[in-house]
A and B are shown apart, each in its own frame.
Chain A
């Protein structure tokens, strides 16, 4: 299927971007309770799997997932969650795109795997906590007080980046499976997938 991206596809990307964004924002608000910050790397991919699987049924051309990831990176990055996401989101996006392409955009297994890879973009949110730890810590202390800062830092030691990466990948797979189930149960029957 060698077709160029049409304006219609770009509109589809925009629509799903809005859905993904609102859903993820709703979940990310939980991040204000310190214990939920590491948990977000599990929850966001898990919930995002439902809209994403539906999006994949409409994304059958090279570049749609990539554009989606670039936009997520830009919006999340510019909303003040740190600039690392602007870099990590397109990387995971292009990997996800390649996996999809290798399956000819039709393979169910490949698309589930692809969403797992796509989900690893959330790691960009944790990079500042680990890489510029002192800086981040002093910012937290000045903004939220000593107690909050110490609790949060206790939950995220330096080595945690790799488990978080795996966690986001695995929960992405799980989210994709849930999304797939819902897709079969509702969307195919309603005729929109």
Chain B
């Protein structure tokens, strides 16, 4: 059924990029910094479930399952292990479980935004928001670049491991140099190529750019936005009352 609904929208993404951005902001600010108690105990699980549902809709089964498994592990760790441990062990449990259960939803949502939005769609959405080019260009380059930096980093890591340079081998200062320098050199080179490519395609030309991406709000966008607005109302209410 989902597949048919997706196809009936003729190539348009399931959610508008603007809705996805709103979701990222909502999830990070409420799940990471929102506090507990009251209606928070309802809105937090709802928001936590959102990335899972989105992964399912996009039929990324593996990602969805990993997300659920890690989240359940972290959450049950927080629920059962934290009260029974003390001292240093307690810190480690709190650190690990707290980090996963708080940051996982935000990270999952962010990766959903990056993996399901093309740069053109992103640019089109930002343009519709009326943001100036001075903000939209760096932001979209940054989104385009996150996966690249990650890839380069792991490639450099492989090369280092092959030559027997790894963490725990002493000399943290040297480690930093060995990793940062190649990473930055390759990123700068890729950046130069990227900017040459973007300029040939008329980025920043004095005329208004057109875009073939179809973006716009649908039923699901409205639904998601309502959840986000509700979340922020609860957040503000909580801050004022408590």
Contacts and interface: CB of A to CB of B under 8 A. Distances in A.
Contact of B138 (A13, A19, A47, A80): A13
Contacts of B144: 14
Interface string B183-212: 111011111001100110001100000000
Given A145-B94, A192-B188, A14 B133 contact: no
B176 interface: yes
A80 B99 contact: no
A131 interface: no
Given A8-B195, A15-B191, A143-B36, A79 B28 contact: yes
Interface residues of A, number: 50
Contacts of A82: 33
B32 interface: yes
**Best-surrounded residue of B142, B144, B239 (most CB of chain A within 10 A):** B142
Overall SS of chain A's interface = helix
Contact of A143 (B98, B133, B180, B239): B98
Contacts of A19: 145, 149, 183-184, 187
B91 interface: yes
Contact of A18 (B91, B135, B142, B242): B142
Contacts of B185: 186-187, 190, 192
Interface in A175-190: 182, 186-187, 190
A146 B14 CA distance: 43
B76 interface: no
B29 A50 contact: no
16 contacts: A7-B195, A11-B194, A15-B187, A22-B146, A32-B95, A32-B96, A32-B98, A34-B91, A47-B176, A50-B180, A51-B180, A67-B134, A67-B135, A80-B29, A144-B98, A148-B91
Interface of B: 24-25, 28-29, 31-33, 35-37, 82, 86, 90-91, 94-96, 98-99, 102, 106, 133-135, 137-142, 144-146, 148-150, 153, 176-177, 180-181, 183-185, 187-191, 194-195, 198-199, 203-204, 239, 242
Interface of A: 5-8, 10-15, 17-19, 21-23, 29, 32-34, 47, 50-51, 54, 63, 67-68, 70-71, 75, 78-82, 135, 138-139, 142-145, 147-148, 151, 182, 186-187, 190, 192
